[in-house]
Amino acid sequence: MAHLLHIDSSIQGDRSVSRKLTARAAGAWRQAHPDGSVRYRDLGANPIPHLDAGTGTARMIPPELRTDAQKASWTLSEELVGEIEAADTVLLGMPLYNYGAPSTVKAWVDHLIAPGLAIDTTTGKGLLGGRQFIVVATRGGSYGTGARREGWDHASAWLPHGLSKTGLEPQFVEVELTLAKSDPAMSHLVPRAEASLRIAEQQIDALWDTRSSADQQAVTVEARS
pLDDT in tens, the chain (225 residues): 999 999 999 999 999 999 999 999 999 999 999 999 999 999 999 999 999 999 999 999 999 999 999 999 999 999 999 999 999 999 999 999 999 999 999 999 999 999 999 999 999 999 999 999 999 999 999 998 999 999 999 999 999 999 999 999 999 999 999 999 999 999 999 999 999 999 999 999 999 997 644 455 554 454 444
Query: In this structure, are residues 112 and 165 in contact, taking their beta carbons and an 8 Å threshold?
Result: no
Q: What is 3-224's CATH number, 3.90.180.10, 3.40.50.360, 2.40.10.120, 3.40.50.1000?
A: 3.40.50.360
The pLDDT tens digits of the residues spanning 62-80 come to 999 999 999 999 999 999 9
Q: How many CA atoms lie within 13 A of 93 on its CB side?
A: 26
- CA 34, CA 51: separation in Å to the nearest integer? 38
Amino acid residing at 89: T
Query: In this structure, are residues 87 and 39 in contact, taking their beta carbons and an 8 Å threshold?
Result: yes
Query: In this structure, are residues 4 and 184 in contact, taking their beta carbons and an 8 Å threshold?
Result: no
Can you give the residue ranges of every domain in the chain? Answer: 3-224
Amino acid residing at 193: A
Which pLDDT value is given to residue 211? Answer: 64
Which pLDDT value is given to residue 210? Answer: 74
List the alpha helices (DSSP H) in the chain: 17-32, 68-85, 103-112, 154-162, 190-206, 213-224
Interior angle at CA 69, CA 68 and CA 74, nearest 5: 95
Handedness of CA 96, 97, 101, 105 (dihedral sign): negative
- Contacts for 109 with CB less than 8 Å, ≥ 6 apart: 159, 162, 163
Which pLDDT value is given to residue 118? Answer: 97
Which pLDDT value is given to residue 219? Answer: 47
- Residue 29 CB coordination number (10 Å): 22
Q: What is the DSSP letter of 205?
A: H
DSSP reduced 3-state for 35: coil
Which pLDDT value is given to residue 223? Answer: 45
Distances (CA, A) of 113 to 12, 59, 107: 28, 9, 10
The pLDDT tens digits of the residues spanning 169-189 come to 999 999 999 999 999 999 999
Beta bridge partners of 5: 39, 90
